Amino acid sequence: MRQILLLLLFAITASAQETLIRETMASKTDTYVEVEALFSGASPGGYAPIRVTIVNNQKSSKSIELSFETHSNYIRGNSASSDFSITAPENKTVVKELLVPLVPPSSERSRYSYSGGYLFINLETHLTGDFGNANNSLNLQLATNQPAVLLSEALYTPNGSSLDNATRSSASSGGYTSGAASFATRFDPKQVSDNWLAYSGWDSILMLASEWSQVSAGGQTAILAWVRMGGQLVIYQDHSGSADALGLPVDDPGMGFISLQPNPPGLHLPAEETIDLVGVKSGAQPGHSVIQDAYRSSWPLQNRFGIKLFRYGLFIVVLLIFGILVGPVNLFVFAKSGKRHRLFITTPIISLGASAVMIFLIILQDGFGGNGSRIVLMEVRPDDGQNAAYIHQEQFCRTGVLVSSGFTMDTPAFISPVPIKSSRWARYTEDSSGDFSIQPNGSKMELSGDWFQSRSEHGHVLAAVVSTRGRIEATGSPDSMISTFDFPIQKFYYQDENGAWFRSANISTGKKFQLTPVDFSMVDPEIQKIAASFEGNLPSTFIRLTKRRQHYFAVTADAPGIATHSSIRWKQTTTIITGPIATP
């Protein structure tokens, strides 16, 4: 009975957490601040879209400070913090949408996380300033390996309870403690974000076709960008509906999935089929599971670096010399009998000298900054006026001495640490946690904490959508094309509308290149080699992308990746580009 009451309390809290804070300063003038979460729960990583409204009908400006703290798991886990300041001038209303960074679930396999059968994310909100002090929180609780799902209001109301029960039953049958895990988080299609990063922590979005029509133009663009980055959009519609009428690229959704389903009778979704639809049948692992599990054992980027051995010999010699100098030599030579007072001078000098030698040896052995390797999957879409590149990046680095662990990213992006194979140098593994703070600052992001540490090994995954005019264009001749990318391309493969394959090599910017027919048996080994270079969902995603006709894939070592810490020297960046051919 107590467990049932706790589950009901959690469900009520989750459904009522859209308005996090509302504080009124003067009821007579209707001056207030409202902090509203656009989704009723947090996501496992990515960003939480928070809308702040300040209605100031006073004769002086009013300011607030919002502090956010994110934690994964109940006791120990990852953490992050971010702060925002907002001011409303006199007699003005200010509405601002914040993207609050969320941490990934902790990789610790404790009874508070995965081994207990569920994961937990908590976002705490603290308001201070002219409207007083207030606090509230936004939570998420998922069963192990359960996708993070957004469910529209029209579908959540008749189906939330049955889907939750089915999810918990499925988790329990798998031998896990399901806790208060829910199938989905509720959202209002009329109140969504125009930034794809707001959806980057979610795996699937389910809504009605009528609700999709209510989504703003900016919201539709953002959700479709999220789909092209690998998300799954499920639209329930009447049989008479069509993808073209909804403006959905069902035939070519990029790295993601778009599924059109018939409206169920009375809008009551079949629980087991719906769970399968966003799980097994989507063909992709949940994003948080990929981050936690895919890079821990045999990651090609990490394996390429080999094992770094610790040179004990030099440091043992230094310690032996230090022991001799600070002991007998100091006592019987520098401060011999009758001059023992010199010990107050010689001992600190010897200690400082030994420390300086140790520091010199560390710098000599490891150097400053660090070296790394990156692999990028980038889909370039010049069609439908997109002119955008959809980028996934995996990176691994080994650092020496870092003057500062903080860094600035000029490109707004999804970024997450990944637990890597344990070693003396690995700082974030399946048995550890850390502080991974991101502070949005206009169009940039300030990152601090444990993203990069001195004399360490680190792994990260990133995703971004950037504007680009680079493309592969048709020339009017069936056997030639032209590249407008501002970097050379080493290998190029193209499949025409009939399924025939062509290749080219050593392509330069602005110069026509010729296509040579090849058999698929010459192309497939290259596809398999590239797929094996990635981890998580990207191998199967890349193979699926190569099956599209009138699309290409290319390999280059000269394209820039998403920049992170400026002290890391990326010795190798391999970029795989894919997309349709543009017409001039």
For residues 81 and 393, the answer to whether their CB atoms sit within 8 Å is no
What per-residue confidence (pLDDT) applies to 1? 38
What per-residue confidence (pLDDT) applies to 241? 63
User: Phi, psi (5° rounding) for residue 210?
Assistant: -65, -35
What per-residue confidence (pLDDT) applies to 431? 82
Angle at 532 between CA 528 and CA 538, to 5 degrees: 100
Dihedral angle computed from the Cα positions of residues 228, 234, 235 and 237, in that order, rounded to the nearest 10 degrees: 140
Tokens for 554? 């290319």
- Domain ranges within the chain, ordered by starting residue: 13-143, 312-366, 367-584
Tell how strand 149-152 and strand 204-208 pair up. parallel
CA atoms within 13 A on the CB side of 63: 4
What per-residue confidence (pLDDT) applies to 5? 38
For residues 333 and 366, the answer to whether their CB atoms sit within 8 Å is no
Task: With CA atoms as reference, report the closest residue to 510 among 414, 584, 434.
Answer: 584
What per-residue confidence (pLDDT) applies to 423? 85
Dihedral sign for Cα atoms in the order 35, 38, 41, 42: negative
Residue-by-residue DSSP string for 140-187:
EEEETTPPPEEEEHHHHHHHHHHHHHHHHHHHHHTT---TT--S-EEE
Residue type, 202: W
What per-residue confidence (pLDDT) applies to 309? 58
For residues 302 and 171, the answer to whether their CB atoms sit within 8 Å is no
First-to-final CA distance of the chain: 68
Tokens for 248? 């959905």
- Give, for all 584 residues of the chain, the pLDDT tens digit: 333 333 343 444 444 347 999 999 877 889 999 999 999 999 999 999 999 999 999 999 999 999 999 988 766 689 999 999 999 999 999 999 999 999 887 754 443 344 456 788 899 999 999 999 999 999 888 877 889 999 999 999 999 999 999 888 876 655 455 556 789 999 999 999 999 999 999 999 999 999 999 999 999 999 999 999 999 999 999 876 677 788 899 999 999 999 999 998 999 999 999 999 998 666 778 999 899 889 988 899 998 887 765 666 666 776 777 677 777 766 666 767 777 777 777 777 777 877 777 667 666 666 678 899 999 999 999 998 899 999 999 999 999 888 888 999 999 999 999 999 988 889 898 888 899 999 999 889 999 999 999 989 999 999 999 999 999 999 988 889 999 999 999 999 999 999 999 999 999 999 999 999 999 999 999 999 999 999 999 999 999 999 999 999 999 999 999 999 999 999 999 999 999 999 87
Q: To which residue do tokens 């290319």 refer?
A: 554
Full 3-state SS string of 19-49: EEEEEEEECCCCEEEEEEECECCCCCCEEEE
Helix, strand, or coil here: 285? coil
For residues 142 and 116, the answer to whether their CB atoms sit within 8 Å is no
The structure's pTM equals 0.88
What per-residue confidence (pLDDT) applies to 120? 84
Tell how strand 516-518 and strand 501-507 pair up. antiparallel
Task: With CA atoms as reference, report the closest residue to 448 among 434, 431, 458.
Answer: 434
Q: What is the DSSP letter of 368?
A: B
Q: How far apart are CA 512 and CA 515, in angstroms?
A: 10
Task: With CA atoms as reference, report the closest residue to 540 among 154, 130, 126, 230.
Answer: 230
CA distances from 301 to 297, 328, 369, 394, 461 (A): 11, 50, 19, 8, 12
Superfamily of domain 13-143: Immunoglobulins (2.60.40.10)
CA distances from 50 to 190, 234, 260, 380, 508 (A): 15, 24, 29, 30, 45
Q: How far apart are CA 135 and CA 117, in angstroms?
A: 29
